[in-house]
Amino acid sequence: MRLAPRVLRRSLAAATVALLATAVGCAPQPEEKAAGTPSSAAGKACAKGKLATETSGKLTIATDEPAYEPWFKDGKPANGEGYESAVAYAVAEQLGYDKGAVVWQSVPFNKAFAPGEKTFDFDINQVSISDERKKAVDFSSGYYDVRQAVVALKNSKAAKATGIADLKDVKLGAQVGTTSLDYIDDVVKPKQAAAVYARNDQAKSALKNGQVDAIVTDLPTAFYITGAEVTDAKIVGQFENKGGTPEQFGLVLDKGSALTSCVTEAVDALRKKGTLAGLEKQWLSDAVDAPVLK
């Protein structure tokens, strides 16, 4: 039977649609990326020596001034000596920047993790990672696990303390904005308000002059203070980590920085390779001799 022209056109159209559907269904489809697989864009973002840094081709690293031992040596961050200076250059190398491409910048401790746009690529200055600070800045993964310690003059009442309860009646001091001060307020809870200082060297002077009975600082700094700066002082003891979670120092970056994941990858790689452990052994004192205060 002969079809009418209109019916014939409809039949041909239907057949064409069916053929197209079949062709599309048989055509090779693009493979979906596996979950967690970095995109080529992400790979390019961390291309060695070609990061989107503050200054093209340079890596700007910040720290406070003066730069204290054992974290830096002779107050010169750029010399590569001291734990944090050595770590900074190791991270830079991991990111593809040699020593000549690193630019140092002076930024006060509290300003490093305060809200606001940063002028550095990352800051390294014994800044402990905390949820509160993460509201204003980004952090890399931790490059050092730290504990807080109590330092007192050998002939003082505080020097005889064997536990936290013995510190409640003494005058304690620490640098403002630090976890050292948090440990005084939250763990010791002394009867007298802690003396607060803008810089760690001011806290050391107060200890030396008898204005406070003891100061709280991170353990490596405590070893350096008692070994080289205030030799008539002793480490009374170290605190356990609050909540059983290790306190860690992290590199500070601008909030939402495109470099955060790249810098974290660099720190993680240095930890995995044993570089961080080697630098710690080279520059920081062993904490075995510091009793734990409970």
Domains of the chain, residue spans? 46-145+246-286, 148-239
Would the CATH topology of 46-145+246-286 be identical to that of 148-239? yes
What is the b/e burial string over 92-117, where b = at least 16 CB atoms within 10 angstroms of the residue's CB? bbbbbbeeebbbbbebebeebbeeee
CA distances 72 to 50, 56, 67, 235, Å, are 27, 26, 6, 21
CATH number for the region 148-239 comes to: 3.40.190.10
Q: Which amino acid is at 83?
A: Y
Best CA proximity match to 53, nearest among 126, 114, 118, 135:
118
Instruction: Look up the CATH superfamily of 46-145+246-286.
Output: Periplasmic binding protein-like II (3.40.190.10)
Cα 265 to Cα 271: distance, rounded to the nearest angstrom: 10
For 93-125, write each residue's pLDDT tens digit.
999 999 999 999 999 999 999 999 999 999 999
Residue 286 scores a pLDDT above 90: no
For 209-268, write each residue's pLDDT tens digit.
999 999 999 999 999 999 899 999 999 999 998 877 889 999 999 999 999 999 999 999
Residue 23 scores a pLDDT above 80: no
Q: Which amino acid is at 166?
A: D
pTM of the model: 0.80
- Helix 260-273 to helix 83-95 angle (10° resolution) is 110
